[in-house]
Amino acid sequence: GAGVSQSPSNKVTEKGKDVELRCDPISGHTALYWYRQSLGQGLEFLIYFQGNSAPDKSGLPSDRFSAERTGGSVSTLTIQRTQQEDSAVYLCASSHRNNYGYTFGSGTRLTVV
């Protein structure tokens, strides 16, 4: 596609439920990032996929968070047993391996009630 696509754009869920957030990167981009942006805060790194290498999961805040990237393209971020502090905008970005200018998606605004 022309840009990074994220779905859903908004998600309201009850505390304790699981949620899945999807990111469809730009075709051919081998690098994919997930970040979290809370109200009034900067961007918190969550996880990084680069080609077929093992992902860098060092930013995941707890074991309730996991992500996968199937076939080197679409990525899904899963949050289990959501908590109110998980409420944030979850951003996905992708880049071609040799071009370090990252293109961001519009994000998924997650609200846990």
Partner 1 sequence: AQSVSQHNHHVILSEAASLELGCNYSYGGTVNLFWYVQYPGQHLQLLLKYFSGDPLVKGIKGFEAEFIKSKFSFNLRKPSVQWSDTAEYFCAVKGETSYDKVIFGPGTSLSVIP
Separation of alpha carbons 10 and 19, rounded Å: 12
Which residue, 48 or 82, has its beta carbon nearer to partner 1? Answer: 48
Say how many residues touch partner 1, by CB under 8 A.
25
Position 42 contacts partner 1 (CB under 8 A)? yes
Which residue, 76 or 103, has its beta carbon nearer to partner 1? Answer: 103
Position 43 contacts partner 1 (CB under 8 A)? yes
Separation of alpha carbons 25 and 67, rounded Å: 14
Position 5 contacts partner 1 (CB under 8 A)? no
Residues 6+ apart with CB under 8 A from 19: 11, 13, 78, 79, 82, 110
Q: Of 73, 76, 106, 109, which lies in the binding site for partner 1, with binding defined by CB under 8 A? A: 106
